[in-house]
Amino acid sequence: MITEQELLAFMREKAYKPMTYQELEEHFGIADAADFKEFLKLLNRLEQEGQIILTRTHRYGVPERMDLVRGRLQAHAKGFAFLIPEDRDHPDVYIHANDLKSAMNGDTVLVRVSSKSAGGGKLEGEVVRIVHRAVTEVVGVFQNHESYGFVIPDDKRINRDIFIPQEGFGGAVDGEKVVVQIVEYPEGRAAAVGQVSEILGHKDDPGVDILSIIRKHQLPEAFPEDVLAEALEAPDVIEEEEIARQGRRDLRDKVIVTIDGEDAKDLDDAVHVERLPSGNIRLGVHIADVGYYVRENSRLDQEAYNRGCSVYLVDRVIPMLPHRLSNGICSLNPKVDRFTLSCEMEFNDQMKVVNHDIFTSVIRTKERMTYTNVRKILQEEDPEVTERYADLVETFRLMEELALKLRANRMRRGAVDFDFEESKVIVDENGKPVDIVKRERSIAEQIIEEFMLAANETVAEHFHWLKVPFIYRIHEDPDQEKLMNFLAFVANFGYTVKGGKGNKVHPRALQTLLEDIRGTKEQTVISTMMLRSMKQAKYDAESTGHFGLAAEFYTHFTSPIRRYPDLVIHRVIREVIEGGGALSEARLEYLTSRMQDIAQQSSERERIAVEAERDTEQLKKAEFMLDKVGEEFPGIISSVTSFGMFIELDNTVEGLIRLSAMTDDYYHFHEQHMALIGERTSKIYRIGDEVKIRVARVNMDDHTIDFEMVDMKPRQRGGELFGGGGFDGGRGGGRAGKGGKAGKGGKIGKIGGAKGGGARGSEAQGGGKGAKGKKGKPGRGVGGSGAGSAAGSIGSAGGVALDAAAGAGAGEAVEAAGTPAVSFGFGSGKGGYASGTVAVARDAGGGYRAGGGGGGSRRKKTSASGIFVGAREDGAGEPAPRRKRGGGKGKSGGNATAAFVRKKKK
């Protein structure tokens, strides 16, 4: 009988041309009727799964040979989407909103690539077929329109409301949060049609907010009855006969402790250390043997696979396993016997593992320690706590010594260690947020972190060389384009990062940079940008290394109660140990076929869990700030975008100052420098800058917070320059001179100043009938035409000086110093989706480009700080040629001011 692998391999051959089922039947020599029936079933199944395509001429082929790409759709709130291909080497494909057909976020689809950029990096395409629907239910607010209704989705990536016919109301009333089952998917301009399947309660009722997020991400809640029944079969205690029967190593006499947070209930890791006679240190990491109780393909196992991991929301935990196991027989509770898998490592002075052993064991922990108490012993030397755990103090000191040495060794080899502050929202019994506290990363947390990392690396390498099917935790090298952009970005701050072979950068170079910037103003900005330039860690059946940890081998072995990959490799480990270090051929084949599927499922479930956790945290932080509208706080700019900038407060709450709310100037986004630059004042806002904000509003529908800048004055009307629009005033740093006189043609408007730098303007007499300009605001002085001279300077963060030559118009001689020439870019993404360099300027017709007179150009010239300066379009930044001085009536003499005046005159 022909197998799926044989059929797909045949269709992927270069010589293959799409065939009908009869031609395929003849090629494979299928004569038996039963075999032919199975063959047709196989063709139908593969076609349904999108692994093969049936053409209009009823011929079969694989998508990749038909210029089709299979992958998962990642939709954006603005309507467009990206295809994330299953083929990791294939770049992302941009899909316009009109080309999505009825596909929605998360769907598995086939896309035809319709256009490519010259370099082949940027691809655009259209959805040809939806293979699998990810969205079957939608959570949102119900709106009743009597004979019909709409549900406004909570998920903004679903950017069309769901139409509900009257018979689909299900008893829902206006304003209630509901779950809608999609009956018809959107086609063309038609909305999706659904029916209400569950009413969660009114959107303002307590608890409905978190419940909505749980339903939005389709997180499971209660365990099915058969799963709970299976969990009840697990014993409460471990019998001595069972220990003897399994032949586990007895470690109950060792000084083993757990160290966790105060509120942790599922204790899945315990540790012990001892100094050997040789001077080496032995570290034992003992992990709950969950796989012993959760058998392969049992209902418990299937449920754990579907959940993927435990989800830690603000006010609750959605566990991967029932509490009967996770808080009971599997939890390493103090002073009771527990089955474990142990990894013992012996470290020499250089922190090299000179011996290691991985085995099944039974332990009995001496104490259930908390991070707080270990910190009090080691850092604060609290007499009361130290006395209470007097017999363990030396053990903790040895743990501290080992952990610090392990960390130093990890830093030396080049692991990248981001030191971002994390926080926890404290809620009361009604789910109302009452406080936000920062999570500490004390020596106690570092001890457990370093010990778990060491165990994970040791286990990963051990089983890699045994060549058994396994699941690894991998972190791929950063995308080259993103990394090069990051290196160019840090160069603006005067930092250089040494590259390796072929434009690659070793993580050690990035860690050195993080150490160099520690404590500096730019630490936040550079750390954030570095993190954004990296890829996400994920699970994989192949060990390709972990870039961020600078580790060749890495896995997740230490948390089988809350992560499914850990549970799977525990089973493999025990099976290998019990099989004398090897697996049977049948098991080898079966496990190999399953591992990549488990890795992919686990990665996807992890992403969903992270999104849900982030959503609930954002929700509760917004709720926490509700009664603080109007209050002022200091903050740091955490992100800069083309629509505004995000400010993070000391309590880790983040809010947005919209571009429209920055009223003292017109600001442009500079992508390369990740900065907003004032058009007139050259004021620069970039990540890491300290600002003082006021809470303007809190939107509980979107869970967003809007801030506004304290003391930001509104833009003042700009006289008659640009018809009252243009360079209007902000705060100046000094007294400004009067604007120069101009030839007949109109008045010169006010020109506002740059904060922190005064300006001098000198009066220049025009040759003809002149009109005296209005008094200027502090800032730039513009000289008129004629025999006089003018000088102006801008004292700004950009460090730019503009000087007008004697006897010349202000647009004729420009000297720019400071930062490189500015251009403003928008948008970036994987697969080459960076927009490149886009010059941004408000087009004023004859407008911002000075010099030469006449109509304006759509390609604007900028100085080094983004100030628009006079230069010819064809001069590539060269000074405009000297023109005849103004002498006759209305002659402009070619200066910048006169060009503006002519525009007004029209």
Q: What is the pLDDT of residue 271?
A: 97
Residue whose pair of structure tokens reads 């990206």 in the numeric block: 82
Quick one: CA torsion of 444, 450, 453, 454, rounded to 10 degrees?
A: -130
Strands 81-85 and 93-95: antiparallel
| pLDDT level of residue 817 (50, 70, 90 thresholds) | very low
Mean pLDDT over 618-633 rounds to 93
Q: What percent of the chain has pLDDT over 90?
A: 42
| pLDDT level of residue 131 (50, 70, 90 thresholds) | confident
The pTM for the full model equals 0.72
Which tens digits make up the pLDDT trace of 734-767?
Answer: 333 333 333 333 333 333 333 333 333 333 333 3
Give the whole-angstrom CA distance, residue 753 versus residue 101.
52
Q: Is the pLDDT of residue 390 over 70?
A: yes
Lowest mean pLDDT among 183-187, 240-244, 846-850: 846-850
Mean pLDDT over 836-861 rounds to 35
Q: What is the pLDDT of residue 330?
A: 93
| pLDDT level of residue 121 (50, 70, 90 thresholds) | low
Nearest CA-CA partner of 850 in 841, 538, 634? 841
- Alpha helix stretches (DSSP H) within 116-248: 208-216, 225-232, 240-246
Q: What is the pLDDT of residue 65?
A: 67
| pLDDT level of residue 191 (50, 70, 90 thresholds) | confident
| pLDDT level of residue 393 (50, 70, 90 thresholds) | very high
Q: What is the pLDDT of residue 745?
A: 37
Mean pLDDT over 601-620 rounds to 93
Give the whole-angstrom CA distance, residue 192 versus residue 184.
6
Instruction: Give a three-class secondary structure readout of 504-566.
Output: CCCHHHHHHHHHHHCCCCCHHHHHHHHHHHCCCCEEECCCCCECCCCECCCCCCCCCCCEHHH
Whole-number mean pLDDT of the chain? Answer: 77
Q: What percent of the chain has pLDDT over 70?
A: 77
Query: Which of the two residues, 364 and 501, has the higher pLDDT score?
Result: 364
Lowest mean pLDDT among 379-388, 551-560, 814-823: 814-823
Q: What is the pLDDT of residue 820?
A: 32
Helix/strand/coil percentages in the chain, nearest 5: 30, 25, 50
Q: Is the pLDDT of residue 217 over 70?
A: yes
Q: What is the pLDDT of residue 194?
A: 93
Lowest mean pLDDT among 362-366, 506-510, 834-838: 834-838
Contact (CB, 8 A) for 785 and 886: yes
Mean pLDDT over 844-856 rounds to 35
Give the whole-angstrom CA distance, residue 95 versus residue 92.
10
Lowest mean pLDDT among 349-358, 567-576, 685-694: 685-694
Per-residue tokens: 21: 């089922």
Q: What is the pLDDT of residue 117?
A: 67
| pLDDT level of residue 502 (50, 70, 90 thresholds) | low
Nearest CA-CA partner of 22 in 60, 64, 48, 63? 60
Which tens digits make up the pLDDT trace of 11-45?
Answer: 777 777 788 887 887 777 787 788 788 888 888 88
Q: What is the pLDDT of residue 588?
A: 92
Q: What is the pLDDT of residue 499?
A: 64
Query: Which of the two residues, 8 and 249, has the higher pLDDT score?
Result: 249
For the beta carbon of residue 596, count every other beta carbon within 10 angstroms: 15
Q: What is the pLDDT of residue 857?
A: 36
Mean pLDDT over 262-271 rounds to 90
Nearest CA-CA partner of 899 in 869, 867, 868, 854? 854
Contact (CB, 8 A) for 758 and 735: yes
Mean pLDDT over 99-122 rounds to 80
Give the whole-angstrom CA distance, residue 445 versus residue 465.
31
Which tens digits make up the pLDDT trace of 691-736?
Answer: 999 999 999 888 999 999 998 877 654 433 333 333 333 333 333 3
